[in-house]
Structure formats: structure tokens, C-alpha cells
Amino acid sequence: MNDKEFCAEVHLEIHAVRRISGYKASEMDKKISKLVIDKFADSCRECKEVKKKIKDSPEKKGFLAKLGEAIE
């Protein structure tokens, strides 16, 4: 399997996993998904839509980040 085939297979697996009902992505899954989205957003409609959705959604901040802002 060459690099192009590997990337295409991972891309398809990411799409398949997104369709599993009730699936909760781990941090690793999210990072791999981001790499796939960045690679395929120009050539894949679904990846482009997910990238736009991520960009348009407000950033969620953890407790420590919010606490730091409150102190400032």
C-alpha cells in the first residue's frame, strides 16, 4: 500500500466512524480527523462542510482557562 492509498483508506474510515450512532470521538480520533479534514477539504464535500462547521462553532474552554480569565 502506498501513501496515497493509505490516506484514502484513513479518509474513508473517518467518514464511516462519523456515521456510527452515539459514537463519541476520543482525543486521538479528533486529532486524526483534523489531519484528514485538512488534507481532503479541497476535494471532499463532507470534509469541507465539517471544516466549516468546526471553524464556525465557538471554542469551548475548560475550567482552568475560564478560571484564568476570571483572575485577569
pLDDT of residue 55: 87
Host domain of residue 59: 3-71
From the centroid of its chain, how far is CA 32? 7
Instruction: Give the tens place of pLDDT for each residue, 11-67.
Output: 999 999 989 999 998 999 999 999 999 999 999 999 999 999 988 887 666 766 666
Quick count: other Cβ atoms within 10 Å of Cβ 14? Answer: 21
What DSSP assignment string belongs to 13-27? HHHHHHTSTT----H
Name the pLDDT band for 71 (thresholds 50, 70, 90): confident
Name the pLDDT band for 6 (thresholds 50, 70, 90): very high
Distance CA 56, CA 72 (A): 27
pTM, to two decimals: 0.69
pLDDT of residue 57: 81
Assess contact for 47 and 41: CB atoms under 8 A. Answer: yes
Angle between helices 3-18 and 27-40 (to 10 degrees): 120
Structural domains counted in the chain: 1
